């Protein structure tokens, strides 16, 4: 595969995970309280997909990385400030909601449109990357649907590793039950890989990459098409925070022995 891959990474944005989230009903359906005020980050698993993509592209000359993202333009722009220094990519933005309460099918349709609009994209080189689940919808569905739309039937989810064999085939490790990995070998692109954490650390901030990315990111954002995304056919009865405060009994000043016995008793109960 000397000509390299066309790696399309689909990544949404989600509220910075440490923020306090509260569901509220809005005129357009369910959403988060102060959604526009919350700082956002690239969806964590999808971010890993991006790092893996950048890593693979670097090892495979001639490769290209596209970051396809459906999110409110202003928020996406802000997230780009922290992402664009991490990996070289071409941004393909779609202006639309980042809410978790939208339907995966509709999101996949918008992403499909965007991907079909990428000039020069070669299906025979296509690796469709993303997070196996978003941190918002948590549906674990979008990539599969998108894969179907693109008629890619080699799909992998919960991927922690993808290596290229000398013959160009791909060895893929997927998370399965019991902390194990399922090992598969696929002949090559096109494939869909829904990434879990992977093995790569977050890349350092590289100002050079950032500056060159920004030259294409800003114009792309300015031209971003708007997509109408909702949840057609889905009826939410309720959305609630779990009531989960327990009455904690705090045991202070107890002897270690006493504590150990109490724990043992509890385990055996």
Partner 1 sequence: METILVVLNVDENGNLSKHALETVSAGVKLSKGLSSPFTVGIVGPKPELAAELIGGCGATHFLGVSAEAFQIPRYVTDSVLIENLANKSQATLILAPGSSRWNRVLPGVAHRLGGRADLHVGELKVAEGKLSITKWYYRQRMEAVLQRAHRPWCLGLDSGADAPWQGERGQVSVEILDIPINPAEIRTQVQGAKSPSTSEQTIRPDAELLFVAGAGWTKKQADGQAHPDRAAELILRFLQLSGASLGGSKSLVDLSSEGQSVLPFMTHLNQVGQTGATPRHPKGLATCCHGEEPHVVGWRFINERRAVNLDPNCGWAHGKADVLYVADAFQVMERLNALLEQEKQSK
Partner 2 sequence: MTNETLSVDRQEIAVDIACVGFGPATAGFLTTLSQTLMNSDGSPAIESRVMPGAPLQVVCYERADDVGFAVSGVVTRARAIRTTFPALNLQDIPLATAVSREELVYLLDPIGASRRPWYMRFADKTIRALRRILPYEKEALRLPYIPPFLRKDDGLLLSLGQFHQWVASQLLASGLVQIWPGTPVAEPLIEGDSVKGVRLADQGVTKDGTPTESFMPGMDILADLVVVGDGPVGPVGRKLEEKFGGSKPSHLNEWAVGMKMVVDLPENCTLPEGTVIHTFGFPEPEIFGFLYVYRDRVASLGIFVPSWFQNPVRSAYRYLQHWMLHPYLWQHLEGGTLRSWGAKSLKESGKLGEPELIGNGFARIGEGSGSTNVLTGSGVDEAWLTGALLAQAVIQLAKNGQTFSKENLEKTYLKLRRGSWLETEATIAQHARNGFHWGFFSGLLGMSLAGFTHGMLHFPRRKKNHRMPSLEEFFKNRIAPEEIAQIRKECYAKGKSLHDALMTKAGWPEIPFDNKLLVSHQDALLLGGKVQAPDSYADHVLFLYPELCDACGVKLCAEMCSGQAITPNPNGGRPNFDREKCVHCGACLWNCTQAQPTDPDKTAVEFRAGAGGLHSAEN
Site residues for partner 2 per CB under 8 A: 16, 18-20, 34, 36-39, 74, 77-78, 81-82, 85, 201-202, 204-208, 210-211, 214, 218-219, 221-222, 245
Nearer to partner 2, 91 or 152 (CB): 91
Q: Least distance in Å: CB of 221 to partner 1?
A: 25
36 binds, among ligand FAD, partner 2, partner 1, none (CB under 5 to 8 A by kind): partner 2
Strands 90-95 and 6-10: unpaired
211 binds, among ligand FAD, partner 1, partner 2, none (CB under 5 to 8 A by kind): partner 2
Q: Least distance in Å: CB of 9 to ligand FAD?
A: 18
209-237 burial string, b = 16+ CB within 10 Å, else e? bbeebeeebeeebeebeebebebeeeeee
Residue 129: closest CA among 49, 12, 13:
49
Angle CA 130–160–50, to nearest 5: 35
Give dist(CA 52, CA 119) in Å, integer.
23
Q: Least distance in Å: CB of 50 to ligand FAD?
A: 15
Q: Are 138 and 18 in contact (CB under 8 A)?
A: no
For residue 233, which phi and psi values (nearest 5 degrees)?
85, 0
Q: Least distance in Å: CB of 209 to partner 2?
A: 11
Nearer to ligand FAD, 17 or 166 (CB): 17
206 binds, among partner 2, ligand FAD, partner 1, none (CB under 5 to 8 A by kind): partner 2
Number of residues that bind ligand FAD (CB under 6 A): 3
230 binds, among ligand FAD, partner 2, partner 1, none (CB under 5 to 8 A by kind): none
Q: Considering only residues 44-103, where is the footprint of ligand FAD by CB under 6 A?
A: 44
Q: Least distance in Å: CB of 56 to partner 1?
A: 18
Q: Considering only residues 27-46, where is the footprint of ligand FAD by CB under 6 A?
A: 44
Q: Least distance in Å: CB of 114 to partner 1?
A: 17
φ/ψ bin of 178: left (φ > 0), alpha (ψ from -120 to 50), beta (otherwise): left
Three-state SS sequence of 168-180: CCEEEEEEEHHHE
Residue 209: closest CA among 89, 88, 91:
88
Q: Least distance in Å: CB of 27 to ligand FAD?
A: 30
Give dist(CA 217, CA 210) in Å, integer.
10
219 binds, among partner 2, ligand FAD, partner 1, none (CB under 5 to 8 A by kind): partner 2
User: Which of helix, strand or coil describes residue 211?
Assistant: helix
Give dist(CA 119, CA 122) in Å, integer.
9
Residues 2, 18, 177, 245: which binds ligand FAD (CB under 6 A)?
18
Residue 111: closest CA among 77, 79, 70, 145:
70
User: Which of helix, strand or coil describes residue 148?
Assistant: helix
Q: Rule CB under 6 A: say whether 17 interacts with ligand FAD.
A: yes
């Amino acid at each position: 595969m000397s000509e390299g891959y066309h790696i399309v990474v689909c990544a949404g944005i989600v509220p910075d995970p440490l923020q306090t989230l509260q569901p509220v009903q809005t005129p357009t359906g369910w959403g988060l309280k102060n959604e526009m005020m919350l700082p956002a980050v690239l969806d964590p698993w999808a971010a890993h997909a991006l790092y893996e993509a950048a890593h693979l592209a670097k090892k495979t000359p001639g490769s290209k990385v596209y970051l396809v993202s459906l999110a409110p333009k202003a928020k996406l722009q802000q997230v780009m400030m922290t992402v664009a220094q991490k990996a070289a990519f071409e941004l393909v933005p779609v202006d639309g909601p980042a809410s978790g309460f939208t339907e995966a099918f509709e999101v996949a349709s918008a992403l499909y449109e965007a991907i079909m609009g990428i000039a020069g994209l070669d299906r025979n080189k296509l690796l469709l990357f993303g997070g196996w689940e978003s941190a918002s919808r948590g549906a674990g569905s979008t990539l599969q649907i998108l894969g179907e739309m693109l008629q890619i039937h080699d799909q992998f989810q919960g991927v922690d590793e993808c290596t290229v064999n000398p013959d160009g085939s791909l060895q893929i490790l997927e998370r399965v039950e019991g902390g194990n990995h399922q090992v598969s070998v696929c002949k090559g692109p096109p494939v869909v890989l829904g990434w879990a954490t992977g093995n790569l650390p977050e890349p350092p901030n590289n100002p050079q990459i950032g500056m060159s990315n920004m030259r294409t990111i800003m114009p792309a954002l300015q031209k971003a098409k708007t997509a109408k995304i909702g949840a057609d056919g889905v009826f939410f009865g309720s959305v609630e925070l779990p009531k989960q405060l327990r009455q904690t009994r705090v045991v202070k000043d107890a002897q270690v022995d006493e504590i150990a016995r109490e724990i043992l008793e509890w385990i055996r109960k």
